[in-house]
Amino acid sequence: MGSTICLNRMRRMLEISMILGLVLLFTAPGWSREESPAGTGQSRPDRVVPTGSVKISGNHQFPGHLNGDQGKVSVSHSRVDASYSRYTLSWQTSWYSWQDKHALPFGDARTDPWNDLHSLSLLVDQRGRLSSRWSYFVQGAIRSGFEKQISRSLGIAANGGVIYGWDEDWSLGLGGYIGLAPTSRFGFSSTFAMVGPFVQYRHPGATGFSARLGFPQSELRYTFNPVWSTWLGVGINSGTYRLADNNTVMPRGYVRAKTYTSGIYLDVTPTPSLTIRFGPTYNFGRRLDFYDSGGDKRRGYDLKAVPGLEAGVNWTF
């Protein structure tokens, strides 16, 4: 009993400290990173300018079985990101289409375990120069992921680090990440452009080859000219969602969905402020983990790899 009270107090103190950190980010000078012409989210730490953008993206994962052929599901995602200065507001909806429900290892074998999951997040991104070679970045986010009810769905996260510009082409980065959610597993996503260590060769907008090796995203790009570029990318996305009160899988519980995605993309930039992206994807390492209303993990299931498609439009101003 005493240990539980102590743990709850420590958790509350951590929540307060992270919220204070987000407040400090909100009151800092308002500058944001310069996006590459391709809108990849890879930044040039040596240049910070006031900027805004609206990005609309979507992807579809074709039907795939749970391991052991225990039912089948396809997933479609749509996302809108609106950014100005250092703030980004994001809304995402994921639609699930279930098949062979009688064979699923969860749910009531008659109805869909869920139809759609939603997330709303606010990201604050602060970065600047420390010297001619060193720069820093700090990001904080508040996120709510839910099926129907928003209560007990809030998560907060922060990450930060330093970037060293080795020369005009090479840069190295090192960062750290901390998150807090009802399951103690705040789902990260591509919203966090730089979470762990990374190495970057040239800016993505430079003509010719450029590359980035890091976590949670890596890419190898070839830019033909300011209009056309193609690239190979791989990354991981995950999210934690609060399930509905009457959910048949885990009432008032949580599901954590994780996917690794690789793809070959074509970026078309007809004007400096507009980029259109599309390409086929391969989605692997897919997994669903379920947690009870107290945040304790109960069970998890792997899903087979499936092909997919992705497209998006990014407008900067």
What 3 state SS string does 272-308 have? CCEEEEEEEEEEEEEEEEEECCCCCEEEEEEECCEEE
- Cβ–Cβ under 8 Å, residues 42 and 36: yes
Share above pLDDT 70 across residues of the chain, in percent, rounded to a whole number: 80
Give residue 25's pLDDT band: very low, low, confident or very high (50, 70, 90): very low
Q: Which alpha helices (H) appear in the chain, and where do they start and end?
A: 2-27
Is the pLDDT assigned to residue 103 strictly greater than 60? yes
Task: Name the most confidently modeled range: 20-29, 39-48, 126-135, 180-189.
Answer: 126-135
Is the pLDDT assigned to residue 244 strictly greater than 70? yes
pLDDT at 37: 27
- Cβ–Cβ under 8 Å, residues 232 and 219: yes
pTM of the model: 0.82
Domain count, the chain: 1
Give residue 185's pLDDT band: very low, low, confident or very high (50, 70, 90): low
CATH number of the domain enclosing 184? 2.40.160.40
CA distance 274 to 271: 5
CA distance 7 to 14: 11
Burial class (CB in 10 A: 0-12, 13-18, 19+), 163: buried
Q: Which of 85, 44, 86, 34 is nearest to 173 (CA)?
A: 44
Quick: pLDDT tens for 251-310.
999 999 999 999 999 999 999 999 999 999 999 999 999 999 999 999 999 999 999 999
- Percent helix / strand / coil, the chain, rounded to 5: 10, 60, 30
Which tops the pLDDT comparison, 178 or 224? 224
Which tops the pLDDT comparison, 5 or 66? 66
CA distance 9 to 162: 32
First to last CA, the chain: 55
pLDDT at 38: 28
pLDDT at 218: 94
Region of residue 162 (phi > 0: left; psi between -120 and 50: alpha; otherwise: beta): beta
Rounded mean pLDDT, 131-139: 94
Range of the domain at 137: 2-316
